[in-house]
Amino acid sequence: MKGGSSIGHQSFVYPGSVLKMNALVALCHFCELHGPRTLFCTEALHPPSPSPSSQAGVPVPGDRDRDGDREGEGLTMRANSSTTQRGEMCDGCRSLPASHPGFVSIDDETGIRFLSHQHPRQPQLFSVVRQACVRSLSCEVCPGREGPIFFGDEQHGFVFSHTFFIKDSLARGFQRWYSIVMVAMDRIYLINSWPFLLRHLRLTIQSLQSTALKVFDNEQGVCPQRAVRMNSVFSPAVFPHQRSGNAARSLTSLTQHPNLWASLHSSFSWLLKACGSRLTEKLLEGAPTEDTLVLIERQTEQEEEMSCWEGAEGGGSKSQRHLSESELGHDFLCDYAKLDELPGPKFRSLRHLRQVLGAAEFRQLVWHVLMGNQVIWRGADPGLIQSAFTVLKSLVPVGCVRSVPYSAQYEEAYKCNFLGLSPDVPIPTHVSSSEFSVLVDVSSERSCQISVMGEDDVSSLYQFTISSANTQPTDRGPTLLNKLEVALSNENLSVDVVSHCLLCLKEEWMNKVKVLFKFSKVDGRGREDTQKVLALLGATGPGEEDNVRLLKFWMTGLSKTYKSHLMTAVRGGERSPSQ
Amino acid sequence: MDIRFEEPALTGSYDVVGSFPKSFGYGVEESSTSADKPRILLMGLRRSGKSSIQKVVFHKMSPNETLFLESTNKIYKDDISSSSFVNFQIWDFPGQVDFFDPTFDSEMIFKGTGALIFVIDAQDDYVEPLGRLHLTVSRAYKVNPDINFEVFIHKVDGLSDDHKIETQRDIHQRANDDLADASLEKLHLSFYLTSIYDHSIFEAFSKVVQKLIPQLATLENLLNIFISHSGIEKAFLFDVVSKIYIATDSSPVDMQSYELCCDMIDVVIDVSCIYGLMQDGSGCAYDKKSLAIIKLNNTTVLYLKEVTKFLALVCILREESFERKGLIEYNFHCFRKAIHEVFEVGTSPQGISSSSSSLTGLKYATLNGSAV
């Protein structure tokens, strides 16, 4: 098969159900005697789908072909309406002899089988392909006559077709008319594959044409047809003239290619496979949240980095990569995996955390988290700290989280806003005296044994001391925190309900962030206007300062796509006058 | 204004385009879709000569060049109305494809047709073509009974005269027998012997086109009056580009005269192209002032004069009659005016009797008559 190298994975986020790519490629020919005919057809069979014809394995080729012929391409004029003429195939329209078993290629990765023969195996595809063939050869026109066309409908499928000429010294106009069509039921898929299909089909066509041209030149050199024909018309010996004489010439004889059909099979199979793996669809329920977008962005970045690294270092640096990632704590998803592995008691939810720490301390801590200050936890149990971080991270958008779960040295605030340290790590004075950080010291009451019974009871095992140089009052705002506290203290609401409530609050405030972002950063409004917007957003009131801080902090968590989209949208468009 | 445009009774109505007078500002004239213009279909088996006929008659291709024509693989719709008086489309069909298959919309194809020309290759066995002829004609008749069915027995240049007549008689008989068997006696077929290597194809095409012109009787009348008053022997009203004549007087048409006139047009146009154009090559070889007088050495005079943008009058007369040139010119002047009036009348509500036959309209507008 052609080129097994990486094609480049492109994700296509697509609301709707996931479809199985089901397409086939066919070579069609306008036969001198019979009109539009399907010459050669490659289809992809997906393993799970049990189609009736595949149950018997590869059917007896002879039977199938006879059926195919009997159904007849159907568009040949039958002068006497007799059925004898129906099934005939001349050299021009028969590609593989009826006894030929066809070609099969099996894709080991996916289990898809690519089958090629003169006609498609499944009877329902037969009429679809015939229709496509007729339309492509006899109905649709493109400028210059050799080129790509897209047409189709729901009933007969959608077709991408590329017509072309093959030179033939014995043909009437010195050329014969062919086309390659790709038939699929998914319109959007085909249209999105247009550039890809065009590029590759052109290559195939050009190679066929150049091979045939060589044969043509040879034949013309031996015996120039123009002279022969001009002279023969007027000689009486010609009568009755050569009606069927040079009518049909098979593609094999036109190109003198020894393995024409086999090589076409491999080209078409590759095309189907590559086209299918180019685009993928993801099932999406509802519009994506900002968090999802950020996650997707990070994933894409990681993949790109991976491919860069692999390319640069020959793929042997996986361990290195993991190490650097764990140092920087990039991989959001990795945390989950590691957390389960660590033993010991853990924080289960925000409510649990609140319970253990106490309402006032909890509030203080969460206030710092929401303001974007650095949250440092120092303790001996990495699992506990990590669980705390997991719980706290859910308070802010994904884009705002930069965490180092456990480290032996202090990391600056710009690197991470969630920092876990081992017990004996000193905190630099500039940090401990800074307003923008909070430290939680975890100390265990009993220095050793953890009793089997109380394994999960965090509060009995540990003591938490929260310290911060912050002088701001933490009890006025932000509004989000106030609402959250109400939800947390309401014992009637289960943990799940509270987490959903938090999700909604986050979305609400993320939307406010977006408005503010557009207003202030993108449009560049002044203070007064911004104040008005803030009032509109409900961010004013007793907790205004805190709300504003929250909004500004959360602005850093917007996805890059969103930011760049807004920036370009504004620059491209006109500034809307203020009302 | 063409009232037919508004009349809802017309089924499958198309725009009566060519007969719109220039003053009619509807703008539909240029923009009418090709589906709306009436058409002549060229059908037949593969290699019978359909594309060659179309190219030789309307595109001035040399008959020898037709040997290298590519096989037609889709319906080729040739619109010649811009250069020819003949304001309809010629549809050249690929012989291999069955257009009665449900995949194709045979209704659409045949509804707007004025004439169907079936081409039979006389140099080959004609049993198969006869079968196809019967099939085609009977199906087309079902869709649209007003189509003129013409059969060209083609490529007769290779046959001797006896053979020609024999072939024509045989085909004629068999075709009509088939029709009688299918009880389609009302269906009338006309047969012509044609070849692209002489003028017979033009002659046959002329007859086909004439049948589609509703003003034919009037034109013939005018010509009769003109020649009787001017002492002219024979006159033809020619379409200059395609060299088919759309009307002649009532005296019988002699092939040689026709050929002579065709040749004359060729000469005149060729010379005009050399000497008649401006310095920079602009201008038209054939315009209002085109006039030619050729005196042959057997005392016959050929006289050509422009009638409309597409039509020319070509007359054959004796030298003695030509001495009264002034009279002839005056008569011609009246004749020309009358012709213009005929074609202008053609655009106004002549056939708009709200009689149900929508297809009188079909034959109606095959003309670019008003184009002056």
Q: A279-311 pLDDT, tens per residue?
A: 776 666 666 677 777 888 888 888 888 777 766
**Ranges A4-8, A148-152, A166-170, A387-391: which has the least confidence:** A4-8
Q: A23-48 pLDDT, tens per residue?
A: 889 998 888 888 888 888 888 887 76
Instruction: Give me B367's structure tokens.
Output: 């003309």
Q: How far is A209 from chain B (nearest CA, A)?
A: 17
Cis bond leading into A478, ω under 30°?
yes
Sketch the domain layout of chain A as residue ranges: 20-47+99-222+248-276, 343-445+458-475, 495-572
Counted across chains A and B, CB pairs separated by less than 8 A come out at 87
Compare B265 and A283 and report the one with higher pLDDT.
B265
Instruction: Work out the pLDDT band at B346, boundaries 50, 70, 90.
Output: low
Task: Tell me how long chain A is.
Answer: 579
Q: B119-172 pLDDT, tens per residue?
A: 998 888 888 888 888 888 888 888 888 888 999 998 888 788 898 899 899 999
Q: B294-328 pLDDT, tens per residue?
A: 888 888 899 999 888 888 999 998 888 888 888 88
**Ranges A165-169, A445-449, B212-216: which has the least confidence:** A445-449
Calculate the average pLDDT of chain A. 74
CA B48 – CA B195 distance, rounded (Å): 11
- The mean pLDDT of A141-164, rounded to a whole number, is 85
Q: How far is A138 from chain B (nearest CA, A)?
A: 4
**What residues contact residue B270 under an 8 Å CB cut-off, 6+ apart?**
none
| Nearest CA among A326, A320, A321 for reference residue A341 | A326
Q: A539-574 pLDDT, tens per residue?
A: 777 778 888 888 888 888 888 877 887 777 766 544
CA A31 – CA A138 distance, rounded (Å): 11
| Burial of B36: CB neighbours in 10 Å, binned 0-12, 13-18, 19+ | middle
Q: A471-484 pLDDT, tens per residue?
A: 777 777 788 888 88
Sketch the domain layout of chain B as residue ranges: 39-212, 215-345
Evaluate whether B62 touches B48 at the Cβ level (below 8 Å).
Answer: no
**Cβ of B46 and A76 within 8 Å?**
no
Is pLDDT above 60 for B224?
Answer: yes
Evaluate whether B117 touches B42 at the Cβ level (below 8 Å).
Answer: yes
Instruction: Give me A391's structure tokens.
Output: 């719980």
Q: What percent of chain B has pLDDT over 70?
A: 82
- Name the residue facing B73 among A75, A80, A138 (closest C-beta): A138
Chain B interface, mutation test: which of A128, A138, A165, A232, most B Cβ atoms within 10 Å? A138
Is pLDDT above 70 for A463?
Answer: yes
Chain A interface, mutation test: which of B69, B77, B96, B174, most A Cβ atoms within 10 Å? B96
**Cβ of A79 and B128 within 8 Å?**
yes
Is pLDDT above 80 for B329?
Answer: yes
Q: A393-402 pLDDT, tens per residue?
A: 888 888 888 8
- Name the residue facing B70 among A36, A80, A172 (closest C-beta): A172
- Name the residue facing B131 among A76, A79, A241 (closest C-beta): A79
**Cβ of A243 and B70 within 8 Å?**
no
Instruction: Work out the pLDDT band at B99, boundaries 50, 70, 90.
Output: confident
- Name the residue facing A172 among B71, B103, B128 (closest C-beta): B71
Which residue of chain B comes nearest to A132, CA vs CA?
A: B103
Report how far apart, in Å, the C-alpha atoms of A510 and of each of A398, A399, A498, A525 are: 11, 11, 18, 20
CA B158 – CA B185 distance, rounded (Å): 32
Q: What is the pLDDT of residue A247?
A: 62
Q: A328-385 pLDDT, tens per residue?
A: 334 444 444 455 666 777 788 888 888 888 888 888 888 888 888 888 888 888 888 8
**Cβ of B73 and A174 within 8 Å?**
no
Q: Name every residue in B having a CB less than 8 A away from some CB of A.
A: 45-47, 64, 67-71, 73-75, 94-98, 101, 103, 121, 123-125, 128-129, 131-132, 135, 158
**By three-state DSSP, how is residue B271 classified?**
helix
Q: What is the pLDDT of residue B344?
A: 81
Task: List the beta strands (DSSP E) in A403-496.
Answer: 403-407, 418-421, 437-444, 462-468
Measured between beta carbons, the chain B residues lying within 8 angstroms of A241 are: 123-124
Superfamily of domain B39-212: P-loop containing nucleotide triphosphate hydrolases (3.40.50.300)
Q: Which CATH class is domain B215-345?
A: alpha beta
CA A139 – CA B116 distance, rounded (Å): 21
Which residue of chain B comes nearest to A36, CA vs CA?
A: B97
Q: A63-105 pLDDT, tens per residue?
A: 333 333 433 344 443 333 333 333 567 777 777 777 788 888 8
Measured between beta carbons, the chain A residues lying within 8 angstroms of B70 are: 171-175
CA A213 – CA A206 distance, rounded (Å): 10
Measured between beta carbons, the chain A residues lying within 8 angstroms of B69 are: 172-173
Whether the complex's predicted ipTM surpasses the cut of 0.90: no
Compare B286 and A5 and report the one with higher pLDDT.
B286
CA B77 – CA B58 distance, rounded (Å): 13
- Apex CA B200: angle with CA B194 and CA B202, to 5°? 110
CA A442 – CA A2 distance, rounded (Å): 61
**Cβ of A134 and B103 within 8 Å?**
yes
Which residue of chain B comes nearest to A156, CA vs CA?
A: B103
Is pLDDT above 70 for B74?
Answer: yes
CA A166 – CA A213 distance, rounded (Å): 8
- Name the residue facing B73 among A76, A177, A239 (closest C-beta): A177
DSSP states of A201-269 as a string?
Answer: HHHHHHHHHHHHHHHHHHHHHHS-HHHHHHHHHT-GGGPSP-SSTT----HHHHHT-TTHHHHHHHHHH
Q: What percent of chain A has pLDDT over 70?
A: 73
**By three-state DSSP, how is residue B269 classified?**
helix
Chain A interface, mutation test: which of B103, B156, B167, most A Cβ atoms within 10 Å? B103
Cis bond leading into A542, ω under 30°?
no
Evaluate whether A58 touches A103 at the Cβ level (below 8 Å).
Answer: no
CA B188 – CA B178 distance, rounded (Å): 12
Q: Give domain A343-445+458-475's CATH number out of 3.40.50.12430, 3.30.70.3190, 3.20.20.70, 3.30.2130.10.
A: 3.40.50.12430
Instruction: Work out the pLDDT band at A445, boundaries 50, 70, 90.
Output: low
Q: What percent of chain B has pLDDT over 90?
A: 10
